[in-house]
A and B are shown apart, each in its own frame.
Chain A
Amino acid sequence: MNQLEAKVLHYRTSGQIILCEFETFGSEVTAVILDSPGELAYLKEGNSLNILFKETEVIIATGEIGQLSLNNRFSGRITSMEKGEIFTSLSIDFGTGITSVITTKSVNRLGLAVGTEVTALVKANEIAIGRRD
């Protein structure tokens, strides 16, 4: 699980769905969450909390990105790779470290190596939030 410290910028709700905007290490992040703000005492503007997302949900792009619905983009550099038969685990530094697990086939197709500049993309509904303690 990727876990990053993030600051709550603002949020709005529609029924039980909350759309939150965060700032984490210079990048803006959007998350949609099913909950009520009343139950999440730590969801307050200006508060620090954790954003969490699974490594296997982190998409990797190289070069210019065309029009994409994805909000969450972290531009960084690959710092290490663990290549398996089917999957490869990539560590990416964009100010802090995140991990992405994609297929080795894609790693080869994109020609990824340590040092490659990439953009890591995460869908807003894949991001969970957690209290920092």
Chain B
Amino acid sequence: MIEIDVVKRIKTASGEVDMHAKVDIEKGGFCSLFGKSGAGKTTVMRLLAGLTDPDDGIIKISGKTWYDKKNRINVPVNKRKCGFVFQDYALFPNMTVRRNIEYASVNKSNVDMLIDMVGMTELKDRKPATLSGGQRQRVALARALAAEPEILLLDEPFAALDADMRNTLQNELKTIHDKLGVTTILVSHDKGEVFKLTDKVYVMDDGVITKVGSPEEVFTDNTISGKFKFTGRVLKVEKADCLYILTLSIGAEVGHVVATHSEAHDLSAGDRVLVYTKAFNPSVRKI
């Protein structure tokens, strides 16, 4: 269990405000901080990592207190077990992929497993300069995990990548999280990413958390009227004539929806979707 309740005066686009973040995450959970740039998301990450001190509050990670203003506890940066992945890779340029990961690792025997998990086995002897952006982020993720952190902090990790690579890495990150169960906080301003990866989202605006809930609760309520709407997952997208047939799983059921180009062109298997129709359309029959 992770409990964060911190206050810090920060400068935002609308002047100085008291940032107040109260975040609780279950062990092994995957939550996100969502909001415009300057909303205070990165400040929360910096406070957690110990790179900045709050003005007041407490930070408790799995029963251990990292920060407590009243009791004057402030665990230094190097003693906080935080894994970090930023938008810019920050790898050691003079070290190979393997050395970069090994350098951070707590347990050397896990290094090859982590390299394999992020799909970098073939490239493990390369230096960062010869890798693509997506490959460097894979290394950065493996390096962050090698330190066996209590909490993994991802600050817009895929924002600099193109859409295809971003999508691939999101899927891989999801798989890795499911496998390792490291408690993770993701900073993002991409709704699709928040939906895909996280089970809880904190929306920040001007330093304050304005909404908390599952991505469905936070993003789909009231944006479209309708009493007949569900979230589902795309299983298959098939072109049929000038239309598309989507196979969707909704709850425990599988159904088909005819979609037009504008609805289906950016969908692929695995995407989460909102399925809605006017309450006038469905017909019912007693069974």
Residues of A in contact with B (beta carbons under 8 Å apart): 1, 32-35, 39-43, 52, 54-56, 82-89, 99, 101, 125-131, 133
Contact = CB atoms under 8 A, between A and B. Distances in A.
A83 B223 contact: no
Contacts of B286: none
Contacts of A87: 241-243
Contacts, number: 69
Given A1-B260, A128-B276, A101 B242 contact: yes
Interface of B: 222-227, 241-243, 258, 260-263, 276, 278-281
In terms of DSSP, what is the predominant structure of the interface of chain A? mixed
Contacts of B241: 84-87
A52 B60 CA distance: 46
A107 to B, nearest CB: 11
In terms of DSSP, what is the predominant structure of the interface of chain B? loop
A128 B278 contact: yes
Given A84-B241, A99-B260, A34 B222 contact: no
Contact of A130 (B225, B227, B260): B225
Contacts of A33: 225-226, 278
A1 B278 CA distance: 13
B242 A84 contact: yes
A41 B281 CA distance: 24
Contacts of A52: 224
Contacts of B261: 89
A55 B280 CA distance: 17
A124 to B, nearest CB: 9
A83 B194 CA distance: 37
13 contacts: A33-B225, A34-B226, A34-B227, A35-B227, A40-B222, A40-B225, A55-B260, A82-B242, A83-B242, A87-B243, A101-B260, A125-B278, A131-B224
B225 A128 contact: yes
Given A82-B242, A86-B241, 6 more contacts: A42-B222, A87-B243, A88-B242, A101-B260, A125-B281, A129-B225
B280 A125 contact: yes
Contacts of B224: 52, 128-131
Contacts of A127: 278
A34 B242 contact: no
Which 3 A-B residue pairings sit nearest by Cβ, starting from the closest? A84-B241, A84-B242, A34-B279
Contacts of B223: 130-131, 133
B283 to A, nearest CB: 14
Nearest to B280: A125
B260 A89 contact: yes
Given A84-B242, A85-B241, A35 B225 contact: yes
Nearest to A133: B223
A104 B165 CA distance: 38
B278 A101 contact: no
B226 A128 contact: yes
Nearest to A32: B280
Given A40-B222, A40-B225, A34 B280 contact: yes
B225 A54 contact: no
Contacts of A34: 226-227, 278-280
Nearest to B227: A34
